[in-house]
Amino acid sequence: MKAPIREIFCSVQGEGPYTGVRQAFVRFAGCNLDCVYCDTPVDRTEQCKVEQGCGTQNFKKIDNPLRGDGVSEIVRKYEGLHSVSLTGGEPLLYTNFIQGFSPGVPLYLESNMSLPERAKEVADMFKYVAGDFKLKAGFNLDNYDEYFDDMVECFKILKNTDERDCFCKIVVLDGFDMQNLLEGVNKIKDYISMIVLQPVTPVDGRDVRPPTVEKMMEIQKTLQDIKETRIMPQSHIMWGAL
């Protein structure tokens, strides 16, 4: 099966506990959610950008959509990979593609955790799951309660096991609801290895800002009693990596 891919490139993971590992990134077009802080274009494109050498940011374009075996062949040309990050957009929109994808290294899923039925189809394929829990603050969705229930179910399906590391990433904006945060963390605590608090990165033209350092430290202290909690901003942005 084919899927619309915006870009394929080789860089290092910039978020969460695997920050710094060398990965190939397969960025899918399309997303079923709308977050005010999103910094990634998700529109479908007629062509996919493919980086010609790790870190070169030198791209060639190939026609969309792409097959899993074709993307596997591209990714296998990047050497020394820890894993392949399936990111987006939302990768779980394309489970048929994922089922035909075999790059020869472990798969690392970056998901908004809102599609539990899709997650069931490919759960056994991932060695790493970076799952989002999206707070009400910064989330353009009328049916938040439905998202919340789906998020909990997704973590249950993709839960942390001896074969898979599943952790939770929470982007935190100034003015968030602490009760919302605590409710979600308590619902998923048994399914994850840790919580990663990510202060929101300001996006051009959007009115988003992170809490103060003091406030972030307070949140971490509160959550530490529930699950190991780390504060980790987006490191790749600091040094200009993709």
Residues of the chain with confidence (pLDDT) below 70: 39, 203-206
- Omega of the bond prior to 211 within 30 degrees of 0, cis? no
Neighbours of 58 (CB within 10 A): 10
User: How much is the pLDDT for 237?
Assistant: 79
CATH of 2-239, one of 3.40.50.970, 3.20.20.70, 2.60.210.10, 3.40.50.2000: 3.20.20.70
pTM score? 0.94
User: How much is the pLDDT for 202?
Assistant: 79
- Domain range list for the chain: 2-239
User: How much is the pLDDT for 44?
Assistant: 87
pLDDT in tens, 142-184: 789 999 999 999 999 999 999 999 999 999 999 999 999 999 9
pLDDT in tens, 176-205: 999 999 999 999 999 999 999 999 987 666
